[in-house]
Structure 1
Amino acid sequence: MTVGCVQCGTHSNPCRCKIVGPTLGFLAFVGAAVVEWPVGAVVYCFRHMKGRRIMAHPATVVYPRVSNAIPI
């Protein structure tokens, strides 16, 4: 089984296609989500907005930073 994310139409490299960055971004997203979603769910019980921010962190911060840091 091959796991790979492909993002085409980007201007960050001559091929206009990224494979490594989005794939590593997805793996970082999953790793962060495993930790942050349960913590965010507990915090959500007491402070709704703070819990939502914690649970959204992997999608809004982790994935884009890792994916954009690697231009391939």
Structure 2
Amino acid sequence: MVGRRGFPSCIQCGTRSNACRCKVVGPTLGFLAFAVTAVVQWPVGAVVYLFKRMKGRRIMGHPARVVYPRVSHAIPI
């Protein structure tokens, strides 16, 4: 329909974790978890980066490296 906005979602097709070979819930919740942790960890990582560069980079990369994949892969649909 024109003028209506849907719920933004992430879709991953070509996966073998379910019969439909598409995932919607896992990647969407993974992205939401990524966004929430990024809001907290990126400013903290930026402050730590001023003193310890590698540690700051690891903190800022944590949402993309750990949080999103774990949440996305935990939900098979």
- TM-score, normalised to structure 1, is 0.99
Determine which structure has the larger helix proportion and give its number.
1
**Alpha-carbon distance in structure 2 between the residues aligned to 1:64 and 1:70:** 10
Larger Rg belongs to: 2
Match of 2:55 among 47, 50, 56: 50
Structure 1 unaligned spans of 5+ = none
| 3-state SS of paired residue (2:45) | helix
2:74 pairs with one of 24, 46, 69:
69
How do residues 1-72 of structure 1 correspond to structure 2 at under 5 angstroms?
1=5, 2-72=7-77
> How far, CA to CA, are the matches of 1:36 and 1:8 in structure 2?
29
- Amino-acid identity (%): 75
TM-score, L = length of structure 2: 0.92
Give the superposed CA RMSD. 0.5
Runs of at least 4 residues of structure 1 off by over 4 A? none
| Aligned length in residues | 72
Describe the SS at the equivalent of 2:19.
Answer: coil
Q: Structure 2 unaligned runs (5+)? A: none
